[in-house]
Structure 1
């Protein structure tokens, strides 16, 4: 097929726009001392309700939303809709603990979740475990964003015939992302998120109205999807999928939804978006209105069925389902609006990729470089290291893109979810209780990580015997049902942590010093007084007023 120059031109126009915004963001709300991790990595902890809402939306609704979920529904049907109840479960769950996380992070100057783990349990080992897990889990998630950009570029037929020529546009987009992230830090994705979310809502609203009209209505779309799902998949010898999860798939559906909801704000980038808020009320307001994005996700999911009805990929052997939605837009929309839709996907991948790389860099800098390698590091040195590590993390994500089967790119996100869930006991448990023993948490984490990685490694991609990391579901011991590996690993993690805590408390093993106090978990800006006398550290360090 020939390149659609109109669509490509519109896509490039928006890409250039957000690139300019990304570099200009370095001067937006520029502080007197920008060489401080609070400024580069958390935007000065100054974002209000509107900015935080766009930032969190840009943070959480990614290429996973636009590419991976509809592609899974295109491929297997109703099983892919687990993403809708998972976001519904997530918001009331995180409303319970995220305001507490913001308060204690603000009171103690924590930049990462691992900072909190170190302070709460008095253990650098637990902090390093949380930090390494966060970095590891973030890489496949960034890789998913790169897959989304690559799907758009492939649909636009950008790149030469050689392997390098085909990947060159992706490498250019990667380089631009790396450059403005390095320069502007969290301020860049915060500003670009305004453009990203506006484009996404426009495209979704047009798509759910315009495309069904062209395809003969939703009744016709669902009929076509049901017919397609009933056909035999040559790779597996079974029906392609189903419109309703069958008895054998219900445990998988439920555990995927529950595990994903629990993992959502364990990711470093999610916590970064929360910690950047200027006060506790901003966090609570955003969590109250975030379900609006869940509605958008439900509507976006239907694009998978629309692609089936439109005949996208029909008859193409070994068709890559990640191309289904970009090709649906190309087929259904006028060229100029297809370009707008491609820009929404591309920018929708760039924004979270930037936040993710910043969050992973914060983890390395604060909890590995500063805690273990250079305890006397200055704020300027921390910031420099964080900028460099943000580049390394993106390179690691490229490795995931090259090394893992991308037929269902959602596996990249679910693989990260298996790992990041293992930090749940230390973080969420620690926000409400100091009961767990630090060594028990570490042992539970090791057990969950080992089991989860081992089981995920043993899952082959459909139709590719002998491959690895091809899925995220496996048999649940004792129950005997297929379920999300992350939840099974978390259950093992908790069992080990509980049993060992009882044993270690019985033998009176030292539990470490908790540097937090009860008032830290409900503190707000109004409760703080500045601590003076350290101009080198840029922004004033704040502490709660306690009585």
Structure 2
């Protein structure tokens, strides 16, 4: 199965972490002749560094502290006071879901394996209807009951401290590798500039970038991220227009590019279509990845921050525009193949940076690289904030300091957010890229296992809280085991007799999760095991563990 789908591993959630083994290709000849390598030098380095420095200084200068009459509160710092309008919500959702590594990995996947990269577009197109169905309902419940995180919701909905803790820990463990990959994406841009990210200078640049934006959000929280999201949208849009113009003028028309790329791909046994035998893997990857994306804490954080459910729905209608942009980036991977771009083995993510080097003069390459580096910071910061809130509200306050005030929660949350960002940089520097990808594969399997307790419970309270906990435990164990035993290949063959089909591991683990929860629920009810009180239906709200105080946020 692994060879049929191309060398590498199909990723669960963030599109294109396939462990690509890029191919060394013969030189390409476009309509204007051979494309000579543009090696670049100090000009592109200086311009990229200057561009990044200007953006960082502008971000620091624009960082605003909350007004003096606003009392510190988690809903103010982490959710922007639940006041994001349609435009801000759309920019935040797009800027958080479509990460920097996405824009590097998808064209790298097209470059290395061909048509399988189109699964990324299918997956992102599925997000809009799924968000419409799930997140407005969750946002309304969160606003009514003062909830900040998914684990808050699980505790109030199911009246279960263990299930809430499981949700919080899963969110943190699954998101950390995702954050590390944002650093890897930025490191790929630095590597294209000739700056080794594992060297002293590379580490210093990475640290400066992420520290700057972490400091920007320290006083303003999500409101600062909302301002950064506009900058990211402008930078990505400008980069798309410029690189598309370069591609079409230097290589040729889209038809000519596809013709060149098709010939080179065919010579390597590569196709831009999907083999029929792989359809089940393709479909389950797309659907499972879309469901998993909605369970990541950074996406839920942005949804909770919208002004109303109608605002969230309106913002979601514009998400396909982000998918169209991603489609253009996928085209750049085809253009890199047509242009005969060369990358070292195992570094397909360098296809687009290498294409920029081939097509753009030094000064323009520096601007494009600077834009890509800055654009990767928004999702990283939001991820760090969401993990910090899970830790503070559902671990620190729940088990260590149940009498903490909202002001104290905000003060404590700022520290872990910085520590998480620093830890992501350290992990990215110490780990091999493939190890980071493998951990992210596990993260995608893990995060999907909270779907029954979070998403399914939005529509039914039938499942018993202990059945949900045991189903979650089986899903985590089985998903981890299947992925590890298969060498981190994300699809496995299942079937009966002669009928077999490749299926995404996370979907199999989720099916086992739901099956256990469904089988144990009537059994636990028959045994008289008490259910938790549903605080969202007017019941008594579950108090903080070990505290006499009710879980109420004023």
TM-score above 0.5: yes
Q: Is the 8 A contact 1:144 1:412 kept in 2?
A: no
Q: Whole-Å Cα distance in 2 between the matches of residues 167 and 512 of structure 1? A: 49
Aligned-pair CA distance for 1:400: 4.8
Deviates most, 252-261 or 402-411: 402-411
Q: What does residue range 41-440 of structure 1 map to in structure 2 within 5 Å? A: 41-159=78-196, 163-232=199-268, 239=269, 241-313=270-342, 318=345, 320-398=347-425, 400-402=427-429, 405-406=432-433, 413-440=440-467
Instruction: Show the counterpart of 2:484.
Output: 457
Q: For the residues of structure 2 that align with 1:512 and 1:227, how far apart are their CA atoms?
A: 62
With over 3 angstroms needed to count, the CA separation of the structure-2 counterparts of 1:204 and 1:28, relative to structure 1, is farther
Q: Work out whether 1:508 is the aligned partner of 2:528.
A: yes
Q: TM-score, normalised by structure 2?
A: 0.85
8 Å contact from structure 1 (residues 436, 497) kept in 2: yes
Question: Does structure 2 retain, via aligned residues, the 8 Å contact 1:37–1:383?
Answer: yes
Corresponding position of 1:466: none
| Gap change, CA 1:218 and 1:411, over 3 Å in 2 | farther
Cα distance change on mapping 1:341 and 1:518 into 2, 3 Å: farther
RMSD: 2.5
Distance 1:204 1:459, change over 3 A: farther
3-state SS of 1:416 partner: helix
Q: 1:66-109 CA deviation, whole Å, 9 max, x = no partner?
A: 11111112111111110111111121122012111111111111
Match of 1:302, SS? Answer: helix
Distance (whole Å) between structure 1 residues aligned to residue 439 and residue 82 of structure 2:
30
Distance (Å, rounded) in 1 between the aligned partners of 2:56 and 2:71: 20
Query: Structure 1's 18 and 503: CA in aligned 2 closer, same or farther, altered over 3 A?
Result: farther
Aligned equivalents of 1:492, 1:402: Cα separation in 2: 36
Which ranges in structure 1 are unaligned for 5 or more consecutive residues? 233-238, 461-468, 520-539, 543-547
8 A contact 2:39–2:357 mirrored in 1: no
Number of residues paired by the alignment? 503
CA distance in 1, matches of 2:429, 2:79: 31
Q: Which residue of 2 aligns with 1:526?
A: none
| 1:6-54 superposed Cα distances (whole Å, 9 cap, x missing partner) | 4333433442343234434542663624532122211222221122221
Please give the alpha-carbon distance, in whole angstroms, between the structure 2 residues aligned to 1:518 and 1:88: 36
CA contact (8 A) 1:2 1:157 kept: no
What secondary structure sits across from 2:531 in the alignment? coil
SS of 2:376's partner is helix
Q: Which residue of 2 is the match for residue 545 of structure 1?
A: none
Matched, 1:491 2:511: yes
Q: CA deviation at 1:409?
A: 7.2
Any residues of structure 2 matched to 1:466-485 within 5 Å, and which? 469=488, 471-476=489-494, 478=496, 480-485=500-505
- Once the 2 structures are TM-superposed, how far is the Cα of residue 413 of structure 1 from its aligned partner? 4.8
Q: Is 1:23–1:184's contact at 8 Å kept on the other side of the alignment?
A: no
Q: Per-residue displacement from partner, 1:128-166 (whole Å, max 9, x unpaired)?
A: 111111111111111111011101111111259x84444
Query: Structure 1 residues 196, 252: closer, same or farther in 2, change over 3 A?
Result: same
8 A contact 1:61–1:348 mirrored in 2: no
The residue aligned with 2:45 is: 8
Query: Does the 8 A contact of 1:143 with 1:412 survive in 2?
Result: no
Q: What CA distance in whole angstroms lies between the structure 1 residues aligned with 2:84 and 2:58?
A: 17
Whether the aligned pair in 1 keeps the contact of 2:60 and 2:212 (CA below 8 Å) is no
CA contact (8 A) 2:66 2:220 kept: no
What is the CA distance between 1:410 and its match in structure 2? 6.3
- Is the Cα contact below 8 Å between 2:43 and 2:362 reproduced in 1? yes
Structure-1-length-normalised TM-score: 0.86
**CA distance in structure 1 between the aligned counterparts of 2:244 and 2:127, rounded to whole angstroms:** 25
State the distance in 2 between where 1:497 and 1:130 align: 16
Per the alignment, residue 524 of structure 1 pairs with: none
Cα distance in 1 for residues equivalent to 2:553 and 2:63: 22
- Equivalent-residue separation in structure 2 for 1:163 and 1:344 (angstroms): 22
- In structure 2, the residue corresponding to 1:481 is in which secondary structure? strand
Question: Are the structure 2 counterparts of residues 323 and 431 from structure 1 closer, same or farther at C-alpha, using a change threshold of 3 Å?
Answer: same
Instruction: State the shift of 1:344 in Å.
Output: 2.9
CA distance change for structure 1 residues 49 and 455 in 2, over 3 Å: closer, same or farther? same
* Counterparts in 2 of 1:198 and 1:409: CA distance versus 1, 3 Å: farther
Q: 1:317 to 1:6 in 2, by over 3 A?
A: closer
Residues 240 and 325, structure 2, Cα contact 8 Å, conserved in 1: yes
Residue 287 (structure 1) shift = 1.2
**How far apart are the structure 1 equivalents of 2:385 and 2:311?**
21
Q: In structure 2, how many angstroms separate the alpha carbons of the residues matched to 1:410 and 1:196?
A: 24
- Structure 1 Cα separation of the partners of residues 511 and 553 of structure 2: 39
Q: Tell me if the contact between 1:26 and 1:187 (Cα under 8 Å) persists in the aligned partners.
A: no
SS in structure 1 at match of 2:450: helix
